[in-house]
Chains A and B, each alone.
Chain A
Amino acid sequence: MNILLLSSGGGGGNILRSVKALFDRDVAITEKVDPAYAARLKDAIVARFLDTNEFSLSDIPDRERLVIGVRTTGRLGARHDPDVARQALDESKSEVEALISRYSVVIVIGTGGKGTGAGTIFPLAEIARRQRKLVLPIFVRPSFERHEVDKRRYDHALTIAQQFDTARIRLVEILNDRGYDDADPQPQSLVWERMNLPIARALRGLMYVLWDLSQVDPSDLAALFAGHGRFRIGFGELDPRDGQEPSDEQVQRAVRDCWENSHYAFTRPAGTSLICIHGDWSNIADARIKGGLAASATAGAAASPYSPLYTRVAHSPKPWGVTGLFAEFTGVHAAIDVEWPLERGAVRAAYQVLPGDVPRVFDAEAIEEAPAETVLPQIAPRGAQETKSSNPPFTTLWELAVAMNRSDPAALAIARDDAHPAILADGAEVKKLLRTVWFRTVVPQLSEDWKSRLLEALVRDVLIADHVVKVGRLSMRLSELTYAQLCEVAAKFSIPDTVKPDLDLMVTVGRLFGDAAVERLQFSDAVPRPSGLAGLLHGLRS
Chain B
Amino acid sequence: MIGPYALAIRDSDITAVLWICLVVGAVALWSLLDTYLVERQRTLDVMAGFGHRFVREFERPLLQPFPDSNRIRWRLRASPERKHLDILLAAGTSGKYPNLSDHKENLAYDIVRIERLLGDQSFASETPYAEGEWVVVPFQFNTQV
Contacts and interface: CB of A to CB of B under 8 A. Distances in A.
A182 to B, nearest CB: 9
B109 A152 contact: yes
A144 B106 contact: yes
Interface string B38-80: 0000000000000000000000010011110000000000000
B64 A144 contact: no
Contacts of A150: 105-106, 109
Interface in B81-128: 95-97, 102-103, 105-106, 109-110, 113
Interface string A110-148: 000000000000000000000000000000000011110
B36 to A, nearest CB: 41
A145 B61 contact: no
B66 A155 contact: no
Contacts of B102: 147
Interface residues of B, number: 15
Given A144-B97, A147-B102, A230 B110 contact: no
A173 B65 contact: yes
A156 to B, nearest CB: 10
Nearest to A180: B96
B113 A145 contact: no
Interface residues of A, number: 17
Nearest to B99: A145
Nearest to A159: B61
Nearest to A173: B65
B97 A145 contact: yes
Contacts of B61: 154-155, 158
Nearest to B94: A177
A146 B97 CA distance: 10
Interface in A136-189: 144-147, 150-152, 154-155, 158, 161, 173, 175
A265 interface: yes
A230 B65 contact: yes
Max count, chain B CB within 10 A of own CB: residue among A145, A155, A161: A145
A94 interface: no
A389 interface: no
A92 B10 CA distance: 104
26 contacts: A144-B97, A144-B106, A145-B96, A145-B97, A147-B102, A150-B105, A150-B106, A150-B109, A151-B106, A151-B109, A151-B110, A152-B109, A154-B61, A155-B61, A155-B113, A158-B61, A158-B64, A161-B64, A173-B65, A230-B65, A265-B64, A265-B65, A266-B65, A267-B65, A267-B66, A267-B67
Given A144-B97, A267-B66, A267-B67, 13 more contacts: A144-B106, A145-B96, A145-B97, A150-B105, A151-B106, A151-B109, A151-B110, A154-B61, A155-B61, A158-B61, A173-B65, A265-B65, A266-B65
Interface of B: 61, 64-67, 95-97, 102-103, 105-106, 109-110, 113
